[in-house]
Amino acid sequence: MTKGKNKMSEINETFNSSIDEAPPRVTAIKRFSRVFFARRVVIFGLVVITILVLTAIFAPLLAPYDPYKQNLNNILSKPNSEHWLGTDTLGRDTMSRIIYGTRTSLLVGIVAIFIAATIGMFLGLTAGYMGGATNTVIMRLIDAMMTFPMILLALTIAALLGVGLKSIIIALGISLVPPYARVMCGQALAIKQNDYVMAGRAMGAKSSRVMLRHVAPNCFPPLIVLMTMMIGSAILAEASLSFLGIGIRPPGAAWGAMVSEGYRYLLTTPVLSFAPGLAIMLVVFAFNMVGDGLRDALDPRLRGSI
Amino acid sequence: MTTYIIRRLIQAFFVMILATVIIFCVMRLLPGDPILLFVSQDEYTRTTSQEDIDALRKKFGLDKSLPMQYFDWIGGVLKGDFGESIFFGTTVMEEIGSALPVTFNIGIITFILANLIGIPAGVICAVRRGKWSDTLLTVLANLGITVPIFWLGILLIYFFGLYLGWLPIQGYTSPFEDFSLSVQKLIMPIICLVLFPLAGTTRQTRSAMLEIIRQDYIRTAWAKGLTEKTIIIRHAVRNGIIPVVTLAGMGIPMILGGQVVIETVFNIPGMGRLAVNALFSQDYAVTQGVVLIMSTIIVLSNLLVDISYGWIDPRVRYD
């Protein structure tokens, strides 16, 4: 009896020690961060985004001048020690306006994508999960939306809603819906085949519950990647709309509108147009790189290859 | 195959009908009244009475109910009559007739260049993965999807147009009129337009090819002793091209969208600028007509992409 017990503890010991010697378990977070932080350019993007978010929040502290204050005695000045990027047609400090413009860009980009993703997710989930006629109606509507160039659709909706930050956000939010609806529909179609969905339904859960509690959370990874990658597109689209003259009201600072204003003074003060364009590029680049990193890190096919 | 194409055509037809309803409704929802806007331009030269306004409204059919206006419009479109422009005093067909060839010319060149350069560039990246050529092209492609094209246009205008004085900074000339001037005027707009689809094609081709060259049959091809050229062209590209074709199809709305912006920057009298101007002046008939033509182009190109799958990829069966 005692002998048997000893034997048992011996076995237990060897078993335990072999567990200790096994390689440490790789958690999902570790695996994610190993791939995500593998490329320097992704880290660069992350740093840039952090700096930009801080710039947007602390714009009043960072801006050397009031971005709306006109000084008609000092218009279109070249970059100098007082005004690092010169002044515009109304004598406003370009540097300060670019710093304030960060707010517009980030706000429009992030909120518009959030709206697009929410609507698209809802439509795609319903279409994919319900199938049949619901699917046909929703997805054909999405197809119809995709027959318009995105920028033209956004331009039209923005014209419909009138000038202002809110209307540009809503316009972009609506016109960026199709890709989300499509991705979500595809995901929902695949995921609803799983046993746990059937189990949920067998237990009498309502469709809405199965959709939101079981199907939706499993669709998120590709959706998050798409959201990050498209913040850049949304910011570019906002800049294009501002450039075309449908954007935020004149005193407000938006990079696209600044490029457009500076265009008229290209011969004398090209920096007015050049500087805000560079700012747009930097933000879009940062979001694209982080999106790429997320895609690699969340792609199960790439697991273990990097 | 035939059944598939017929079904796909019916689907495209319904999508087009939905699209026309959307265009029509959105235009009618726009705040403001195009007739009043038009009349207000003449305010200083002549006084317009209510009767004149009503007469104008009647002339453009804007006094009828919305569904009637819609059917009038669609009925006209099917007969090739897109209505009359409120502002330009011309028919929409005339406006589109002069703008469409411009946009078509620019769009086709852009589309061809994007694929002609983008696909080989993507293949080179994948084959030379990690080498300097891959790094350089990937960085360029990543920058290409980052640049605001209207800003790039302004940069080019400043540098090549104003500073160096090499190229004309705006306008459009038909290649049939004056070929060399036409080319000179097109260089900068096309550089701006091609960048985004070109970068997209390069990135997509690269990632598709990277996936393909890991496959077993590529190793088999190497083991057989085939040359690199044969393996890449016959085995890898043929299989890697499918997602690229999808992207090429998606590139067409992208190019058209780019033209909306770029035609404004370079003052090119194409569909994009026409759409923007008509939209801002609330010229219902012109905006509807332009958007409808653009939608039709996009629907047809999507249709072509879907059908071309079967031709490119024999594994695809339409049933």
Instruction: Please give the tally of structural domains in chain B.
Output: 1
pLDDT score of B112: 92
Which residues lie closer than 8 Å to B276 by C-beta, 6 or more apart? Answer: A155, A244, B260, B263, B264
A133 touches chain B (CB under 8 A): no
- Which of A141, A160, A277 has its CB closest to that of B151? A277
Evaluate if residue B231 carries a pLDDT over 90.
Answer: no
pLDDT score of A305: 44
Asked if A76 and A269 count as a contact pair (C-beta separation under 8 A), the reply is yes
Looking at residue A70, its amino acid is Q
pLDDT band at B25 (very low <50, low <70, confident <90, very high): confident
pLDDT score of A245: 81
Residue count of chain A, please give it: 306
Q: How far is B153 from chain A (nearest CA, A)?
A: 10
- Which of B23, B143, B256 has its CB closest to that of A149? B256
Residue written as token pair 């949304």:
A234
Neighbour-count burial for B173-207, b at 16+ CB within 10 Å, e otherwise: beeeeeeeeeeebbebbbbbbbbbbbbbbbbbbbb
Q: How far is B301 from chain A (nearest CA, A)?
A: 10
- Which of B19, B150, B260 has its CB closest to that of A147? B19
Q: How many CA atoms lie within 13 A of A8 on its CB side?
A: 5
- The 10 Å Cβ neighbour count of residue A159 is 24
Q: How far is A14 from chain B (nearest CA, A)?
A: 41
- Structural domain contains residue B77: no
Q: How many CA atoms lie within 13 A of A257 on its CB side?
A: 23
Least confident window among A12-21, A144-153, B91-100, B153-162: A12-21
- Structural domain contains residue B110: yes
pLDDT score of A18: 54
Coil, strand, or helix at residue A93?
strand
Query: Looking at chain A, which residue has its C-alpha nearest residue B263?
Result: A244
Taking the C-alpha atoms of residue A62 and residue B102, their distance in angstroms, rounded to an integer, is 47
Spell out which residues of chain A touch residue B149, defining contact as CB-CB under 8 Å. Answer: 240
Q: Hey, are the CB atoms on A274 and B257 less than 8 Å from each other?
A: no
pLDDT band at B317 (very low <50, low <70, confident <90, very high): low
Segments forming the whole domain that contains residue A105: 29-59+90-302
Q: How far is B112 from chain A (nearest CA, A)?
A: 19
Coil, strand, or helix at residue A87?
strand
pLDDT band at A118 (very low <50, low <70, confident <90, very high): very high
Evaluate if residue A1 carries a pLDDT over 50.
Answer: no
pLDDT band at A115 (very low <50, low <70, confident <90, very high): very high
Query: Looking at chain A, which residue has its C-alpha nearest residue B157?
Result: A266
- Structural domain contains residue A67: no
Spell out which residues of chain A touch residue B15, defining contact as CB-CB under 8 Å. Answer: 140, 143-144, 147
Asked if B152 and B136 count as a contact pair (C-beta separation under 8 A), the reply is no
Section B83-91 average pLDDT? 75
- The alpha carbon of B302 is separated from its chain's Cα centroid by a whole number of angstroms, namely 12
CATH number reported for the structural domain that contains residue B108 in this entry:
1.10.3720.10
Coil, strand, or helix at residue B63?
coil
And the tokens for B130?
A: 């990690």
CATH number reported for the structural domain that contains residue A292 in this entry:
1.10.3720.10
Spell out which residues of chain B touch residue A288, defining contact as CB-CB under 8 Å. Answer: 142, 145-146
The pTM of the full predicted model, rounded to 2 decimals, is: 0.82
Asked if B157 and A269 count as a contact pair (C-beta separation under 8 A), the reply is no
pLDDT score of B37: 66
pLDDT score of A3: 52
Give the CA diameter of chain A.
102
- Structural domain contains residue B111: yes
Section B190-212 average pLDDT? 87
Taking the C-alpha atoms of residue B130 and residue A83, their distance in angstroms, rounded to an integer, is 43
A55 or B47: whose pLDDT is higher? A55
Q: How far is CA B137 from CA A209, B120, B232, B247, in A?
A: 47, 11, 18, 19
- Structural domain contains residue A73: no
Beta bridge partners of A93: A87
Spell out which residues of chain A touch residue B200, defining contact as CB-CB under 8 Å. Answer: none
**pLDDT, averaged across chain B:** 82
B245: nearest Cα among B199, B317, B306, B319: B306
Phi, psi (5° rounding) for residue A64?
-70, -30
Query: Looking at chain A, which residue has its C-alpha nearest residue B303?
Result: A147
A263: nearest Cα among B105, B37, B261: B261
- Structural domain contains residue A179: yes
Segments forming the whole domain that contains residue B152: 92-312
Instruction: Please give the tally of structural domains in chain A.
Output: 1
Q: Hey, are the CB atoms on B256 and A245 less than 8 Å from each other?
A: no
Strand segments (E) across chain B = none
pLDDT band at A14 (very low <50, low <70, confident <90, very high): low
Percent of chain B exceeding pLDDT 90 equals: 10
Evaluate if residue A84 carries a pLDDT over 90.
Answer: no
- Structural domain contains residue A167: yes
How many contacts, defined by CB atoms under 8 Å, are there between A and B? 128
pLDDT band at A41 (very low <50, low <70, confident <90, very high): confident
Taking the C-alpha atoms of residue B198 and residue B196, their distance in angstroms, rounded to an integer, is 5
pLDDT score of A112: 94
- Structural domain contains residue A1: no
Q: Hey, are the CB atoms on B276 and A244 less than 8 Å from each other?
A: yes
pLDDT score of B39: 66
pLDDT band at A250 (very low <50, low <70, confident <90, very high): low
Coil, strand, or helix at residue A86?
coil
Q: Hey, are the CB atoms on B31 and A162 less than 8 Å from each other?
A: yes
B185: nearest Cα among B99, B115, B273, B106: B106
Evaluate if residue A218 carries a pLDDT over 90.
Answer: no
Q: Hey, are the CB atoms on A288 and B145 less than 8 Å from each other?
A: yes
Coil, strand, or helix at residue B84?
strand
DSSP code of residue A300:
G
Asked if B164 and B79 count as a contact pair (C-beta separation under 8 A), the reply is no
Section A142-157 average pLDDT? 89
Neighbour-count burial for A125-134, b at 16+ CB within 10 Å, e otherwise: bbbbbbeeee
With DSSP H G I counted as helix, E B as strand and the rest as coil, what are the percentages for chain A, rounded to 5? 75, 0, 25
B90 touches chain A (CB under 8 A): no
- Structural domain contains residue B31: no
> What tens digit of pLDDT does each residue of B257-273 get?
999 999 988 889 989 99
Which residues lie closer than 8 Å to B313 by C-beta, 6 or more apart? Answer: B239, B242
pLDDT band at A302 (very low <50, low <70, confident <90, very high): low
Asked if A260 and A245 count as a contact pair (C-beta separation under 8 A), the reply is yes
Q: Hey, are the CB atoms on B298 and A141 less than 8 Å from each other?
A: no
Residue written as token pair 């332009």:
B290
Instruction: Report which listed range, A136-140, A267-271, B76-80, is most confident.
Output: A136-140
A48 touches chain B (CB under 8 A): no
Asked if A172 and A237 count as a contact pair (C-beta separation under 8 A), the reply is yes
A163 or A71: whose pLDDT is higher? A163
Section A110-119 average pLDDT? 94
- Structural domain contains residue A148: yes
And the tokens for A61?
A: 């502290």
Environment class of A144 (CB within 10 Å of its CB; exposed 0-12, middle 13-18, buried 19+): buried
Spell out which residues of chain A touch residue B22, defining contact as CB-CB under 8 Å. Answer: 144-145, 148
Asked if B198 and B206 count as a contact pair (C-beta separation under 8 A), the reply is no
- The 10 Å Cβ neighbour count of residue A107 is 14
- Structural domain contains residue B113: yes
pLDDT score of A20: 56
B162 touches chain A (CB under 8 A): yes
pLDDT band at B46 (very low <50, low <70, confident <90, very high): low
Asked if B283 and B87 count as a contact pair (C-beta separation under 8 A), the reply is yes
- Which of A141, A245, A281 has its CB closest to that of B148? A281
